[in-house]
Structure 1
Amino acid sequence: MTTTLTEYHTADFVKPDGRNLTLYGLNPIRVDSDIPSPSPDPVDARPLMRWHPVRGEWVMYAAHRMGRTFLPPPEYNPLAPTRDPEHPTELPRGNYDIAVFDNRFPSLTLAAPDPGAGPAGTRAGVGACEVVVFSQDARGRLSDLTDEQVSLLLAVWADRTTRLAGTGRIQSVLPFENRGVEVGVTLHHPHGQIYAYDHVPPVAARATAQMDAYQAQHGRPWLADFVQEERASSARIIHDDGQALSVVPPFARYTYETWVLPARPASLLSELSDEERLSLARVLKDALLRLDGLFGVRMPYLMTVHQAPVDAPHPSFPLHIEIYPYLRAPGRMKYLAGTEQGAGEFANDKFPEVAAQELRAVPGGAGDGL
């Protein structure tokens, strides 16, 4: 059954192997073939978690992921719509913009069985892992989507967060995109993932505590002050669209690290109005285009969407998107080394003000009419 998501459309299906598939579109959904799956066999995932007593965090183990698809040739792209029924992929043919389905090789699953006996601190890997296919075009980039399609992607992330929270078993949801083999991507087709946890991971937990403390001390959310201060300085702003902006934060850990955030404090994507979401989409697209334009290549990057935990309301949490570029060129980009991995203390070779100035100077950003 097709329903409306604001001004968008969704359609839910079940794959032959039992996994869920949801299609999203700016126009009514039309499916022109059977709902496919690369294999009709149900997914047999048995992820587990073990508690790290020194770091105070969970570690996920999912041995079945060793068999996942790795850099297949274009004619065997599992994220493209199925053309030959004898060689089914993950997606059907039809009219839709974005597809979301349960990961066939999940690190976490709501159906994770009890692992039984094991080392102290072992438990089932409960959660959810979803794949988000940004486009049917295997050659494109997220930044090649129209402003409306990127806005739809933001709405999709919001809808998935709401649905996952609605299971009653999820406390935190992280949409993200890894782009480039340099950061471990195994499929070139433009896509991202969503990890949903049955606990609040360390980064989100620490951020929530920090932001709660700031609001308790100042009587207002940190994001309001941050936006005001960055606009007053303007030295680190890359692009300001009015209801959203991008900055190289003054505390950037990575060279050219970019944050995309709403101008109004919000804790979840679902709290944004249609106008705010479209503004955020324009700024996100602009930021990605500028990073690609900086060195004239498809910049490998990690992009993470930070929302408040969904275990309870957290109005002080600052909704934002973080982009960490990666390019293996001496003196240009940062990757994790001894102090980052061992101590969690980052060393950055370029001041944020300089990085922002270089990104502003890149011609062809979305703000320049590309």
Structure 2
Amino acid sequence: MGFVGGGEGAFIGKAHRQAAGLDGRFELVCGAFSRDPENNRATGAALSLPASRCYGDWQQMLRAEQALPAEQRMELLVIVTPNHLHAPIAQQALGAGFDVFSEKPAALNLPELQALEQVLAGSGRRYGLAHTYLGYPMVWQAREMVRSGVIGTLRKVIVEYPQGWLSRDVAGQGNKQASWRDQPEQSGLGGCIGDIGTHAFSLAEFIADQPIEQLCAMLGTHVAGRQLDDDAAMLFKMADGASGVLIASQVCAGEENPLKIRLYGDKGGLEWQQEQPNSLVHRSLDQPLRILRSGVGQPWLCEAALQRMRLPAGHPEGYLEAMANLYGDFATAIRSNLPGPDAPGVPGIEVGLRGMAFIETVIASHRGDAKWTALVSPL
């Protein structure tokens, strides 16, 4: 694999490299880690890459890697840049014959993403998105329990993602991660709703196993001078009749990363929290509450969940392991030569399109006067 972005000082690039290396199925062979030549050189040296495979920019990297013999060149390009570069780099990489794993969102807007979809369809390559929370084993367990009717007919979904790191003007204090996220030309149309709201949205659709069809949204910007939203709340309706609530905010002072979802049917409910990812709470209408715990070999867990676990019960697995599951599924697709454009188990272009349609629908709902705004599938 090769990396674009993720130079020294960038959290998410390091997390990707650690996750991809966890199971030993990928080797980092090249990168264009930073526009800063010294940062780029230092990152490559720290990762024990030869100077000849540390490129000055991603265009040079694609040309040089494409020219190498097949047994030497990278196979998968990982994109961990600010949002505005995701689609342009992915398009060029797919056209050059490389598979792509990209940070989300997949593009700045829906037309840009639809153009990427067309390139992907004609490339014969595979494409994945880093919706990391969909890699957690107990998320798959919850999905299977909903699908198999354990909680009955789904009635209510409540998903929330509060963070507190943007409660102050940290961009004005020099925080680069906050700064580019508030620039529409780099971040896209949404701030909080694009950064973490899409995670809550995709988690709800994945576990409920049905799409959100209508929503009624309100956005807020609570810090003076901020260009994009830092707070969002909405009601929604799902395809099979369930109603729901989604809250995403980055100004909930004191919160860390407590993504949480609750689902209720006519027979019971489920609850999963990202900060306690090894536990899944199952509530029953006429039985005591039980807590299902992750762990290799637990006979009460579904096969999809067990396939994504590495350790016995009581040994916590977390964010890196969840992301590693996405990389593992991508490695299986490459090594098995499975046809694209998706790698089974990895969120792909359809998840990206749904997420982008969600962002634009939320903004339209916030700006409009209609009680309900249809979330029309762009597929």
Greater RCO, CA 8 A, separation 6+: 2
TM above 0.5, one fold?
no
Provide TM-score, normalisation by structure 2.
Answer: 0.27
